[in-house]
Each structure stands twice: as structure tokens, then as C-alpha cells.
Chains A and B, each alone.
Chain A
Amino acid sequence: MTNRSTLIGALAFLVLAAAAPALPPWLISLATIAFAHALVVLGLVIMWRAGLVSFGQALYYAVGAYCVALVSRFTGITDAFVLIVLGGLAAGLLAVLVGFLLARYREIFFAMLSLAMSMILYGVLVKTEALGSTDGFNVAPATFLGYAPEGAMLNLALFWLVLVLSALAAAAIGVYFRSVAGAIAVPVRDNEIRIEFLGLSVNRLIHLKLVIAGILGGVGGALAAMTISHVDPNMAYWTTSGGFVFVTILAGAGSIAAAFVGSFAFEMLRSIAVALLPGAWQLILGSVLLITILFVPDGLGSLFMRKTRGKEGEPA
């Protein structure tokens, strides 16, 4: 399955990259945000496979976004590559810290504690007038190693950047899923006692998953901040986290590509729903979630994958 899916992924990457200039600008913006969010969702997928659901992934997303916004505001650095690295690092470091606490919890306690962490950040951001309180503040246009595109060209450049980062993240996570630490995800859900008695610390295993997910969340947030050119406390709010969980359920944990497809489908769906029912678009989203859970419990990814797990079925 790996060779074929890598090939399809690479093909999709090239087609999207080549077709981008011909696509309408609204679609480019939507896809950019969708793929930035897909990175956050990949982090959730990593945890989901080990049986953990974070209802506070917006914490890392907002930290990545605010890191970009603050650095460009106070240092004048607008280089996208530097900002993304900083956003990912800031969120990753935070994940290292909160991971010492979170990695000790499971199930609903893990979910609620993650939620609590993100809501603390939300509270801080809302109360900080220097950062614009609930209004947030604008982010200066990104530059790329000295190249400073404007308007439609900037959007296109950001789209290509997101595309490249998505490809890198997908490849890296593919490697991670085949590694000892990455493949031991279903076993964590199955039987922690056995893992401990084989000589591996489950908490450390989960801590690592949290940090990887945190970095992905930060990078996703950094990209989103540059794309929207604005940050506000809603990025840390629990409905944002809920949106990520929604996409995770929609996409399923079975495949990496599904996170991108699922995230794109979600953004499309939301745009259409808002256009159709401006006052009650949540109704449409809710119905879709319901239908997904009832009829495609393993997510969109399960529709593309062969039904039977082959002989090579990975232990994950």
C-alpha cells in the first residue's frame, strides 16, 4: 500500500501545484487554509490512533499563529520560512511542557484537560489588550527569502508553500508510522500493561506523540495566520478545536492523505453551508457529521482503501 499511495500522493501534489495558477483565487485561499488545517488534523490522527482525542488542539494552532503575528509585529521579520519554523518550535516547546501533565491522562480526562489548556490561552488572549483582546490584530504580508509578492501572487505563493509543507509532513509522518514509536499506537489502545512489561514507557510514547502533534498544530497555525493576515483569540477557542476533531472523524485515522481530502471537504462544506443557510449553517455541518459517523465510521480514508487489510497490514 505504501508505494502506491506515495505515487498517488506525489501525483496529486504535482497536479495541484501546476494547476494552481489556473484556479480561481477563492479556491486557492480555501485550499490553503484547508491544507494548513490538515496539518493540525494530522497531529490529531497521530493521537487518535493511540486512542486519544484532544479537544484542545487549537492551543498549538493559536500559539503558532500568534507566534508568527508577534514576531513579525515586533521584529519586522516577515520571512515565511523563518516564521513557520518559529511557530512550529513555539508550539512544540509548549507541547513538551504540557505533555508532562497530559501524557499521564487517558480518555475523557485527556480530552478535557487538553480543552482546559486551550481555554486558558483563550482567556489570556481575550484579556490582553496589547494584543487587541477579542479583535486580535493584523499580520504583515509574508515574504519568501526576500521575494515579496502581492495580491493574487502572494496567495499563490502561500498555496505552494502549504503544498510543499504538506508533502513534507505527509512523508515524515509516513516514516514515523512505520517506526517503532509510531507503529506502537494501536497497541497503546489495546494493552498498555503489555507495553510497560516489554520495557517501554507508554507515557513517554504518548508524550512524543503530543509533541509531534503540537509542532504540526503550530505550523498549521503559522500558515493560517499568514494566509488570513490576521490572528484573534478565536483561534484558541474550543469550537476551533472541535472543528479539527470534526475533520479527524470525517477523514478517519487510516490514511495520511485522507486528512487533506477531509480538511478540504470540510472547508468546502462550510463555505457552501454558510452560503445556503447563513443563519443555520451549523445544521448542515452537524448533519454531515452524523451521516459520517453512522455510515462511514472509519472516515473518508476508509472509502479509498482496500477493504481487507492485506498480508502486509501494518500493526497500527
Chain B
Amino acid sequence: MTPILSVAGLEKTFGSVVAARDITIDVPAEQTVGIIGANGAGKTTFVNMVTGHLRPSKGTIRFGDKDITGMASRDITRLGISRSFQVAQIFPSLTVFENMCVAAAIARDADGILRRAFTPLRSGQTVAEAEAAIELFQIGSYREARVATLPQGIRKLLDIAMAVAGWPRILLLDEPTSGISIEEKFGLMDVVMSALKSRRVTILFVEHDMEIIGRYADRVLAFYDGTIIADGPPAEALANERVQTLISGTKLRTEAAHA
């Protein structure tokens, strides 16, 4: 079976700074991939390249059989690769429902700005999609709340709900639990993961919390200094010595305990 996402020899340099180098991975459909690594290890750079926010300096990105290297982000979104953001990117002046309507309306039709001037924003289908997404992500009690007033966790859920409005095949989540209290993290991830799995989305998520990685990922990619230093099932990848020394810090803690 062709992998749904295939990245080969990906490299990104900013002047003399190498943000990513020689990243080569294949992701089969419906896998849930956790991406770990210290700050500046290249995780977000990787996400930005796959979603078209950054153009790779070298290498190729294939979505199924299609080469999407260097394509514009909105074209990549239209093909079926969507993303959420570390800081939720939503429309603060609008309500949750209005946010979802905008997302569903944009996602529904083929791009064609003139046609969009004649399609009502709140067609029956758009409203139905918006309602379904609000229910799927369990944010119904905030339906009429203006987004600027929402708690962090709800903003994150809305951001992800909007990202999947177009029924993407792949979703990249950049730190879905950042800014969320420890008590709320698992609840949030349960909602997100079951929603995404019900839509059979292939998931790549960036995460710092190893417990969350262990619970939700089928596979772990460990980034260090712009490159992947471990790739495998969570138990295996998290047991990797370099991962423990350089990323999760378990090694250091153990050594400190021995000392």
C-alpha cells in the first residue's frame, strides 16, 4: 500500500541555520504519529513544510501519489492536508457557531471566488456541517459564546474542529495540549482523538508530554537538532537512549538519582 504521506530528504535552512535536515519518513493511512523533540528541534518547521507554510530547501513531500513540495498552503488544504496551531487560530469576534460556519462554508465548495459571492454562507448543508462538528468536538455549550471569551481548552478544540471542517485525510496538530492544565489534557485529547478517528484521519501531532505520547501515539518521531533520531512504536522510541538523554530527560533524571 502506498503511504498517505511520504517525505524524503527534507531540508530547511535559514541562512546558515539548519532547521531541518535529511528528514525521511513514510506514514501509512490512519496512523497516529506523535512528534517529540526539544524546543528548536525542528518539529514545527517540519509541520510548516508539510502544510506549505514554509518551502523546503531540499527534498520532496508526497501526499499519496501527488508531489506537493512547495505548494501553497491553501492548495495543500484543498487536497486534504489540514493543520491546527500551537496558538489557536480562530476568529475572536465571532461566536463558536459562526466560526464553524465560516470553516464549513470555505471547506465545502471548490475554490472560485465569484461562485462564493453567490453561495449563501449559511446554506442548510453548511449549518448542518457546523452543528455536526460542534457536537463531535463537544463544544455545544459554548455555541453562542464569542470566541474571545472562551477558555483555552475550548479554543483549542474549536481550532481543531475548524481544521477538520473540510474532511482532511491528514491532520497535523501543533502542540494540541500546550497552554492546557495537566488535569484537562487527557480529557481534551480523548475528545480530539475519538473525533478524528471517527473521521478516519491520519494524525501527526507535536507533543511535549510523554504520557500523552505513550497513550495516544501508534508511532513516535523524535526530533533533535533538525533531524529524526528515533522512529518507532512509543515503547521502543521512548526507551531509546538518545531520546532519553536529549528529549524526554528520563536518562538525566535517573543518573541524577544515582549520583
Q: Write the residues of chain A forming the contact surface with B, with a CB cutoff of 8 angstroms.
A: 175-176, 178-184, 186-187, 189-191, 193-201, 204-205, 207-208, 311, 313-315
Most chain A CB neighbours (cut-off 10 Å) among B90, B121, B166: B121
**Bound CA–CA A201/B116 (angstroms):** 12
**CA of A193 to CA of B117, assembled, Å:** 21
A196-B120 contact given A181-B113, A186-B93, CB 8 Å threshold: no
Contacting pair B111 A194 (CB below 8 A): no
The 19 sampled A-B contact pairs (Cβ below 8 Å) are A179-B121, A180-B116, A181-B117, A183-B102, A183-B121, A187-B102, A190-B94, A191-B89, A197-B77, A197-B89, A198-B107, A198-B165, A198-B166, A199-B74, A199-B75, A199-B77, A200-B111, A311-B144, A315-B98
**Contact A315 to B121, CB < 8 A, known contacts A186-B93, A197-B83, A197-B163:** yes
B residues within 8 A CB of A193? 85, 89
- Using Cβ atoms and an 8 Å threshold, which residues of chain A touch B121? 178-180, 182-184, 314-315
Q: For the complex formed, measure the closest distance between the CB of B151 and the CB atoms of chain A, giving whole angstroms.
A: 19
**Closest residue of B by beta carbon distance from A316:** B121
Residue in chain B with minimal CB distance to A177: B121
Instruction: Please report B residues at the A interface, Cβ cutoff 8 Å.
Output: 51, 73-75, 77-78, 82-83, 85, 89-95, 98-99, 101-103, 105-107, 109, 111, 113-114, 116-122, 144, 162-163, 165-166
Which residues of chain B come closer than 8 Å to A205, judged between CB atoms? 113
Known: A180-B117, A315-B94, A315-B95. 8 other contacts (CB 8 A): A179-B121, A183-B121, A184-B121, A193-B85, A197-B83, A199-B78, A311-B144, A315-B101
The chain A residue with its CB closest to the CB of B89 is: A194
Pair A187/B113 contact, Cβ less than 8 Å: no
Task: Let me know if A199 and B114 touch, CB within 8 A.
Answer: no
- The binding surface of chain B is classed by DSSP as mixed
Partner pick for A180 among B85, B94, B119, B162, CB 8 A cutoff: B119
- A190-B117 contact, Cβ under 8 Å, with A180-B106, A197-B51, A315-B98: no
Of chain B, the residue at the smallest CB distance from A189 is B93
Smallest CB gap from B121: residue in A: A183
Distance from A195 Cβ to chain B, minimum over Cβ atoms (Å) = 7
Contacts of A184 in B (CB 8 A): 102, 105-106, 121
- Shortest C-beta distance, A269 to chain B (Å), equals 31
Cβ A208 vs Cβ B103 within 8 A: no
> How many angstroms from the CA of A207 to the CA of B83 in the assembled complex?
26
Closest to B79 in A: A199
**B106, A195: Cβ atoms closer than 8 Å:** yes
Bound CA span A194–B93, Å? 14
B197 shortest CB reach to chain A, Å: 22
Residues on A with beta carbons closer than 8 Å to the beta carbon of B77:
197-199
Cα A15 to Cα B124 with chains together (Å): 36
Q: Which chain A residues lie closer than 8 Å to B78 at the CB level?
A: 199
Expressed in whole angstroms, the Cα–Cα distance for A63 and B214 within the complex equals 66
4 closest A-B pairs by beta carbon, nearest first, are A315-B98, A199-B77, A183-B121, A181-B116
Which B residue sits closest to A206, measured CB to CB?
B113
Do A190 and B93 touch (CB < 8 A)?
A: yes
In the complex, which residues of chain A have a beta carbon less than 8 angstroms from the beta carbon of B94?
186-187, 190, 315
B101 proximity list for chain A (CB < 8 A): 315
B101 CB to nearest chain A CB (Å): 6
Contact present for A187 and B91 (CB under 8 Å): yes
B107: chain A residues within 8 A (beta carbon): 198-199
Give the docked Cα–Cα distance between A204 and B118 (Å).
Answer: 15
Contact B91 A190 (CB under 8 A): yes
Question: Whole-angstrom distance between the alpha carbons of A181 and B90 in the complex?
Answer: 18
With A190-B94, A197-B73, A208-B113 known as contacts, the answer to whether A179 contacts B118 (CB < 8 A) is yes
Q: How far is the CA of A298 from the CA of B104 in the complex (A)?
A: 29
* B102 close to A199 (CB less than 8 A): no
Residue on A nearest B148 in the bound complex, by CB: A190
Q: How far is the CB of A35 from chain B (nearest CB, A)?
A: 24
Is A201 touching B109 in the complex (CB atoms < 8 A)?
A: no
User: What residues of B have a CB within 8 angstroms of the CB of A181 in the complex?
Assistant: 113, 116-117
In contact, B90 and A194 (Cβ under 8 angstroms)? yes
Give, as a whole number of angstroms, the nearest-CB distance from A55 to chain B: 24
B-chain residues with CB within 8 Å of residue A204 when the two chains form the complex: 113
Q: Is the pair A199, B166 in contact by a Cβ cutoff of 8 Å?
A: yes
Q: Which of A182, A193, A194 has the most CB of B within 10 A?
A: A194
Cα separation A205 to B111 with both chains bound (whole Å): 11
* Residues of B with C-beta under 8 A to A199: 74-75, 77-78, 106-107, 111, 166
Q: How far is the CB of B84 from chain A (nearest CB, A)?
A: 9
What's the Cα separation between A45 and B122 when bound, in Å? 22
Question: What is the minimal beta-carbon distance from A23 to any residue of chain B, in angstroms?
Answer: 36
B76 to chain A, nearest CB (A): 9
- B105 and A313 contact, CB distance less than 8 A: no
In the complex, what distance in Å separates the CA atom of A175 from the CA atom of B122? 12
A184 to B102, CA, bound (A): 7
